[in-house]
A and B are shown apart, each in its own frame.
Chain A
Amino acid sequence: MTSGAPSTTVLSENDISRALTRIAHEILERNKGGADLVLLGIPTRGAPLARRLGERILAAEGRPDAPLEDLVGTLDITMHRDDLRRNPTRALEPTRIPSGGLDEKVVVLVDDVLYSGRTIRAALDAISDLGRPRAVQLAVLVDRGHRELPIRADYIGKNLPTSRSERVSVRLTELDGTDSVVLSS
């Protein structure tokens, strides 16, 4: 982020927490419980978000001590990106699928920001190599618009109208030491 550029905090720590709690309940409501759910976080920041959602879902279902690993995994989509060769080589992040696999599960993809939709397209490709879920849904913390593909989110923390020149930065305690979403130009 360029320092000195005008920037606005659009989500605070509390806002993020509330949004995730709401999404967790929406997921449970829509899927009538957490039985067949698998949450797959897309690295980098989708992964901790998925864990937080998983914790909330387990808590809401009254089984906070159940192993989170059976509900939450990570899905690295780097090798499925269509812009792989336009950018410098990216380090691969691990893909970890809960031991129950994906077949006949309801997979909820979790990412921080929904923008062009290309990441989600790559994620859908990656999922199809791993199994055949009953359904795939999408949860994002921020939807900033400007879609380039016919993709929409099922669960949205905040709709944030932006211009293409603006930049949305999501910071999470696990990686950045603080929770916030900042819009800068």
Chain B
Amino acid sequence: MRHLLSAADLSRAEAIEILDTTATMAATQSREIKKLPALRGLTVVNLFFEDSTRTRISFEAAAKRLSADVINFSAKGSSVSKGESLKDTALTLAAMGADAVVIRHQASGAPHRLATSGWVRTPVVNAGDGMHQHPTQALLDAFTMRRHLAGGGEAGPDGIGRDLAGAKVVIVGDVLHSRVARSNVDLLHTLGADVTLVAPPTLLPVGVHTWPCAVSYDLNATIADVRPDAIMMLRVQRERMSSAGGGFFPSPMEYSRRYGLDGTRLAALPEHCVVMHPGPMNRGLEISAKAADSPRSTIVEQVANGVAVRMAVLYLLLAGGTETEGSR
């Protein structure tokens, strides 16, 4: 693994290695001294072209707990045709001696360009690009699911070495605009889970039938038929209902009625089913407060696991020498 650009690039073995490493990292985070010296002397640049305090802080905490130096570069608004180009920003960072670049960008494929254009030679971690991918989110979701669904016995509470074979995962909401959905479908499929996407037809991309998952327009029927082990609610932006926003649904009320996780649907879920959300939530739209705050909700745990996953990714990308590929 030279970069982490897309969850689709990960093999089953690589994904499990990251999840297992995450478990080790997570264990260190309950200690009094959380800091590890693994990346001492290295510099990680957080290059954020899009506002995301949560993700940036998560990467920053991960890098710092591995003793790396962190430079935050917030370039919101300075991207695309006005101001400094992605290329010049990248060349500047390379000249400053970055050892890894974590990039968040509103343009799908920007991390891919950064990694393959020759502008920088360091590992590139995709922290979310447009409507394309958000692989560390998928990894932390998978880690959270594995802990709840495959933990126990010889594999310990984190399900070390295990995949998610047979786990039934339902992902609900704005799949069309969601990099979280794309990343999760790819990674969960790789790990052997059965994924069902549920969304109004307007919020599913043309071509979704080729994805390795099932697709439904009916949340009630899916809950009844699939009996999910995990249900993930995606954020829906209110502005998408207006004509200018694309007119994807008639009103928040109607969306919530048909696709929101309310008390009734929460009660209809199997006892062991965990409720997930990548955040930030629209309480009352895609998820009710009752569901978000219920004991089966893993939403806060997901955030904590996010730091451990990002530590694992940075560690695996940076800790080794130059010949990291295939020679572990």
Which residues of A line the B interface, CB within 8 A? 76, 78-80, 84-95, 125, 129-131
Q: A95-B27, A129-B31 are in contact. Are A79 and B321 (CB under 8 A)?
A: no
The residues of A that contact B66 with a CB separation of less than 8 Å are 79
Partner of B328, one of A85, A86, A91: A91
The residues of A that contact B32 with a CB separation of less than 8 Å are 131
B282 at interface, CB cutoff 8 A: no
Cα(A46)–Cα(B244), bound, Å: 65
B284 to chain A, nearest CB (A): 42
The residues of B that contact A125 with a CB separation of less than 8 Å are 37
- B24 touching A84, Cβ below 8 Å: no
- A89 touching B36, Cβ below 8 Å: no
The residues of B that contact A130 with a CB separation of less than 8 Å are 31, 33
Partner of A88, one of B21, B35, B37, B324: B324
- A90 touching B320, Cβ below 8 Å: yes
- B38 touching A79, Cβ below 8 Å: yes
- A89 touching B33, Cβ below 8 Å: no
Cα(A84)–Cα(B39), bound, Å: 9
Partner of B36, one of A79, A85, A86: A79
Q: A79-B38, A125-B37, A130-B31 are in contact. Are A85 and B24 (CB under 8 A)?
A: no
- A85 touching B320, Cβ below 8 Å: yes
Cα(A84)–Cα(B66), bound, Å: 13
- B24 touching A76, Cβ below 8 Å: yes
* Most-contacted residue by chain B among A86, A88, A89, A94 (CB, 10 A): A89
- A88 touching B24, Cβ below 8 Å: no
B129 at interface, CB cutoff 8 A: no
B177 to chain A, nearest CB (A): 35
B interface secondary structure, majority: loop
Cα(A93)–Cα(B17), bound, Å: 11
- A89 touching B24, Cβ below 8 Å: no
- B21 touching A79, Cβ below 8 Å: no
- A87 touching B321, Cβ below 8 Å: yes
A98 to chain B, nearest CB (A): 14
The residues of A that contact B321 with a CB separation of less than 8 Å are 85-88
B17 to chain A, nearest CB (A): 7
B70 at interface, CB cutoff 8 A: no
B28 at interface, CB cutoff 8 A: yes
- A84 touching B38, Cβ below 8 Å: yes
- B33 touching A88, Cβ below 8 Å: no
B327 at interface, CB cutoff 8 A: yes
The residues of A that contact B324 with a CB separation of less than 8 Å are 88-89
Cα(A130)–Cα(B24), bound, Å: 14
User: Which partner residue on chain A sits nearest B25 by CB separation?
Assistant: A92
B315 at interface, CB cutoff 8 A: yes
User: Which partner residue on chain A sits nearest B35 by CB separation?
Assistant: A129
Interface residues of B in 15-70 (CB under 8 A from A): 17, 20-21, 23-25, 27-28, 31-33, 35-38, 66
Cα(A116)–Cα(B21), bound, Å: 27
The residues of A that contact B75 with a CB separation of less than 8 Å are none
- B36 touching A88, Cβ below 8 Å: no
B162 to chain A, nearest CB (A): 15
Can you identify 21 A-B contacts, CB atoms within 8 angstroms? A78-B38, A80-B36, A84-B38, A84-B319, A84-B320, A85-B320, A85-B321, A88-B320, A88-B324, A91-B21, A91-B328, A92-B24, A92-B315, A93-B24, A94-B160, A95-B24, A125-B37, A129-B33, A129-B35, A129-B36, A131-B32
Partner of A79, one of B23, B37, B327: B37
- B17 touching A88, Cβ below 8 Å: no
